[in-house]
Amino acid sequence: MTRAEASLAHLYKVFTKPEGNDSRLLQIEQHLSDNLADFLSRHVVASNTSLEDIEHHFDDAALPEHPQFVSEHAEHLLEKLVSNSVNTYSPRFIGHMTSALPYFHLSLAKLLVGLNQNLVKIETSKAFTPLERQVLGMMHQLVYEQNDEFYAQYLHSARHSLGAFCSGGTIANISALWVARNTLLKADTEFRGVQRDGLAAGLQHYGYKKLAVLTSQRGHYSLRKAMDVLGLGREQLIALPCPDQTLDAEAVRQKGRELQEQGIKVMAIVGIAGTTETGHVDPLAELAEVATELHCHFHVDAAWGGATLFSRNHAHLLNGIKLADSVTLDAHKQMYVPMGAGMVVFKDPQASNAVRHHAQYILREGSKDLGATSLEGSRNGMAMMLYASLHIFGREGYQLLIDQSIDKARRFAVMIEDHPDFELTTSPHLCLLTYRIRPAAFQSPDNEKLDMLNKAVQKQQREAGNSFVSRTRLETKDYPETPITVFRVVLANPLTTDEDLHAILDEQAQLARAHKIWTELS
């Protein structure tokens, strides 16, 4: 055989299904999973290798010319990539919304990749399409609680859709505002609609100078991206101040009227159910009323907080959510599904027809292809992961998870308040809270110095790699004028214990006391 033939034969082999007794493959798999288990079982959050040093592993832009054995490459990945990753499973990694996953997702992920379905059209997904529609129906029911008749009529209807599955909250928010925009600037007898003739023609036809969206300063940055992508302009996202951490419905009403008097149409109000920074929930029912008065779309960003609805003990915190025209949910946050699982659900099963798209070779008229109303094209069957989780945990299981997170956040708040070195800056809402180092012994707070101290401690803690909390800047009730630097904690990992939380506070107190700013202040 010539060299070319030899390597082609080798390549074919890579594509053929491995035989059950292919010991090499089993060895590689075993080796990788052993290493993964080892990595995840360590308490350490991250290696203390600097990012600059890690960049040296990835600083060669030359394309690899020659093939490599899979086993060789696996070694390469373990050494350069895995060892320098972040252990999001660590019980002391409590700074972000990404956390440990239930073990079964690892096996299911193999199924997902093994089947490699494409949900854009039925021809490449078949059963995955009704599965995804069912999952969207379940999430719709979680939010809107319609009756069986409703779901029998709409769950699998080709001309309706209860929502869209997508990669995350960002795309979900864009999708919701996309529907709101197209619905507002819809076709009539003299206009073919924004979808066909564009924004400028739409604004002119309806006589609006601009379109605005009202939300709070705690709104997620994806909303600004959405405004940009939809051609509305980032500055037309009007983010109202909220020292109490929630939107004041009356302020929204005033601002909305003021804008509309100036010829600026309020396209949507976005209420947040679980803000990214503090976990607060806006007064959703009141905001829904204002949206009705202003004749605008009401969207609720429940990417983080939506899963609270699983808990009969806490669902009331999201009262009014069912009045929303659309709701964003992220299954890869409090539903413990791997990353890449966002959704938007619509109250009105007709709503997404405002963005429906047809093409000849795909997404034909009357087909049930999911791609006809989704922003994304090719998409994997991630809905299966949520489907499995919903069955394996059940609503009751999710309730237990939600309840224990909220209880833990409340216990952590007590630990912080009882500790002489710390100040609770926002009380726990859902399972998020913020706090900072502010020893009771210090006289009046020199916020600038305290900001520097808190920033330094957070950075040192992250670099040491034993634990992780994140950091943000906020106005709070006690400090409404200028934002202060605070630690932000998300108690998502069910394996985080009170002992872990005490250890995190102890580490921070030690770092703070050793810092020169502490000496200056005391």
Ligand X SMILES: *Cc1c(COP(=O)(O)O)cnc(C)c1O
| 3-state DSSP assignment of residue 182 | helix
Q: In what order do the strands lie in the sheet with 326-330?
A: 163-166, 342-346, 326-330, 297-302, 264-272, 210-216, 237-240
| Binding residue for ligand X, selected from 342, 371, 381, 428, defined by CB under 6 A | 342
Cα–Cα distance, 433 to 410 (Å, whole number): 9
Would you give the distance in Å from CA 210 to the centre of its chain? 29
- 169 near ligand X, judged by CB under 6 A: yes
- 330 near ligand X, judged by CB under 6 A: yes
- 93 near ligand X, judged by CB under 6 A: no
| Binding residue for ligand X, selected from 301, 369, 451, 507, defined by CB under 6 A | 301
CA distances from 58 to 50, 55, 61, 69 (A): 13, 5, 8, 20
- Cβ(387)–Cβ(135) below 8 Å: yes
Joined tokens for residue 354: 């405002």
- Cβ(306)–Cβ(315) below 8 Å: no
Using CB under 6 A, which of the segments 100-108, 162-170, 452-460, 478-486 binds ligand X? 162-170
Q: Return the residue nearest ligand X (CB atom).
A: 169
Q: How many residues bind ligand X (CB under 6 A)?
A: 14
Which are the contacts of 21, defined by CB distance < 8 A and separation ≥ 6? none
Cβ distance to ligand X smaller for residue 202 or 274: 274
- 95 near ligand X, judged by CB under 6 A: no
Write the burial class of residue 216 (CB in 10 Å: 0-12 exposed, 13-18 middle, 19+ buried): buried
- Residue 165: CB minimum distance to ligand X, A: 12
Cα–Cα distance, 28 to 304 (Å, whole number): 37
| Binding residue for ligand X, selected from 222, 236, 311, 493, defined by CB under 6 A | 222
Cβ distance to ligand X smaller for residue 169 or 371: 169
- 216 near ligand X, judged by CB under 6 A: no
Cβ distance to ligand X smaller for residue 426 or 508: 426
- 439 near ligand X, judged by CB under 6 A: no
- Residue 241: CB minimum distance to ligand X, A: 18
- Residue 57: CB minimum distance to ligand X, A: 26
Would you give the distance in Å from CA 266 to the centre of its chain? 26
Rounded to 5°, the CA angle 129-133-137 comes to 165
Cα–Cα distance, 57 to 61 (Å, whole number): 11
- 304 near ligand X, judged by CB under 6 A: yes
- Cβ(252)–Cβ(269) below 8 Å: yes
- Residue 453: CB minimum distance to ligand X, A: 28
Cβ distance to ligand X smaller for residue 173 or 216: 173
- 88 near ligand X, judged by CB under 6 A: no
Applying the rule CB under 6 A, the residues between 355 and 374 that interact with ligand X are none
- 389 near ligand X, judged by CB under 6 A: no
Using CB under 6 A, which of the segments 66-74, 169-177, 231-239, 246-254 binds ligand X? 169-177
Q: For the CA atoms of the chain, what is the radius of gyration? A: 25
Which are the contacts of 451, defined by CB distance < 8 A and separation ≥ 6? 473, 484, 485
End-to-end CA separation in angstroms for the chain: 80
- 512 near ligand X, judged by CB under 6 A: no
- Residue 405: CB minimum distance to ligand X, A: 14
Specify the amino acid at residue 392.
Answer: I
- Residue 172: CB minimum distance to ligand X, A: 7
Using CB under 6 A, which of the segments 138-146, 298-306, 404-412, 417-425 binds ligand X? 298-306
Which are the contacts of 414, defined by CB distance < 8 A and separation ≥ 6? none
Cβ distance to ligand X smaller for residue 330 or 421: 330
- Residue 171: CB minimum distance to ligand X, A: 7
- Residue 179: CB minimum distance to ligand X, A: 17
Provide, for the chain, the percentages of residues in helix, strand and coil under a 3-state DSSP scheme, each rounded to the nearest 5.
50, 15, 35
Using CB under 6 A, which of the segments 19-27, 208-216, 246-254, 296-304 binds ligand X? 296-304
- Cβ(505)–Cβ(423) below 8 Å: no
- 276 near ligand X, judged by CB under 6 A: yes
Cβ distance to ligand X smaller for residue 275 or 476: 275
- Residue 36: CB minimum distance to ligand X, A: 24
- Residue 79: CB minimum distance to ligand X, A: 29
Which are the contacts of 15, defined by CB distance < 8 A and separation ≥ 6? none
Query: Which positions lie near ligand X, rule CB under 6 A?
Result: 97, 168-170, 173, 220, 222, 272, 276, 301, 303-304, 330, 342
